[in-house]
């Protein structure tokens, strides 16, 4: 299961969500789809489940949804915004 690191703050905005990495003083802005992905991830959904939900509710192929979700999760982990514990 994924979770935000203790030093990362999430704030919902009108357009999506902002993640603030308090350690590095950097922030990331997520659009509505990115917000959907991270909220589902933090609620315990797997990237595969999230991709399936996106493909079922948005005009995107399952393959594209899987690639996009996988890339976003990998980036969040690489930037140390989320952990997979």
**CA nearest neighbour of 10 among 68, 82, 58:** 82
- For residues 15 and 47, give the distance between their C-alpha atoms in angstroms, rounded to a whole number: 22
* CATH match for 3-79 among 1.10.1760, 2.60.40, 1.10.287, 1.10.10: 1.10.10
Rounded to two decimals, the pTM is 0.89
Average pLDDT over residues 10-20: 96
Grouping H, G, I as helix, E, B as strand and the rest as coil, residue 26 is: strand
- Encode pLDDT of 58-71 as tens digits: 999 999 999 999 99
């Amino acid at each position: 299961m994924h979770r935000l690191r203790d030093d990362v703050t999430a704030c919902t905005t009108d357009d999506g969500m902002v993640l603030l990495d308090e350690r590095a003083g950097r922030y990331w802005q997520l659009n509505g789809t990115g917000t959907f992905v991270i909220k589902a991830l933090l609620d315990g959904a797997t990237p595969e489940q999230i991709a399936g939900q996106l493909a079922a509710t948005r005009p995107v192929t399952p393959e594209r949804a899987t690639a996009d979700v996988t890339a976003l999760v990998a980036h969040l982990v690489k930037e140390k915004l989320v952990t997979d514990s």
